[in-house]
Amino acid sequence: MPKDSIKDFEKYRKFLESIPLSEYREKLKDIKWVEQDLVPALYPLTSIYKNYWETQNFLDFGKWFTEFWGEINASQKQKLIDLKDLVKAHRKFYEDTINGDLDNKVFLSFKARMYRTWVSVLTQLDFCYLFEFICTKEGKNLQVECNAELDSKGIDAKINNIGFQIAKISQRKEALKIVRKSRVVTIPYAVFDVEEFQRLSHSSRVKVKDKYQKALYSFNKYFIQLNNGFVVFKEDYLKPIIDNIADIEKVKEIVGRISLELAGES
């Protein structure tokens, strides 16, 4: 079936807006995990890209995780056993079992880690869906390449011979350090506490109120915070990138300026 970038984008945005972020956050926020590297066989990237990019099968997190957990239990049983053994080596984590049940602790902690990965990749895909949406509207023959293999190399999207890497910035003072790889552009993605920024931008105790005000202005210029709290890209962010995609130095210049704006520096 041929792609319909307009409908795919609209469908994806509706899906993002339907995610009960606060509900998931409440359930998983107190579940800790030993942040060791997982063996590649337990990475969820192939499953996520297959469902949310290749087939537009927009499962909610619970359904996706159940499907993914079933797949790795069927095909990677020994890897999961090895993972439990690895967890046992971390005494503090091992002793903090749930009702003395290590298997349940591993399951819930693994699920919490998969949720963080899931949300992160969905953010990257919003960039991709919006990119192709704008190109289709403007009649530009540009397509996004994104998959688990590229992701594992630190490239979240590839257009022509330019790689893009989405990087979170959570505080106003964080002007993003642009990756200096010759063909990779780092895209700053703001995860500001908007209410806190609003408070600080009007507080008599804050000496740099104008910088918080500028950062908030830039946040609203380049992002939309959906009703459920999910932050997505605006067309005003991607359009100048698309218009200058033939010149990577110009794209880096644009992105560098946006980074400074989000830091309240310009």
Beta carbons within 8 Å of 137's beta carbon, 6+ residues apart: 6
Residues in the chain: 266
On whether the CB atoms of residues 157 and 128 are closer than 8 A, the answer is: yes
3-state secondary structure of 72: helix
DSSP state of 41: G
pTM: 0.89
pLDDT digits (tens, 9 = 90+) for 23-75: 998 888 777 665 556 788 889 999 999 999 999 999 999 999 999 999 999 99
Q: What are the tens digits of pLDDT across the range 211-254?
A: 888 889 999 999 999 999 999 999 999 999 999 999 999 999 99
Tokens of 79: 């890897």
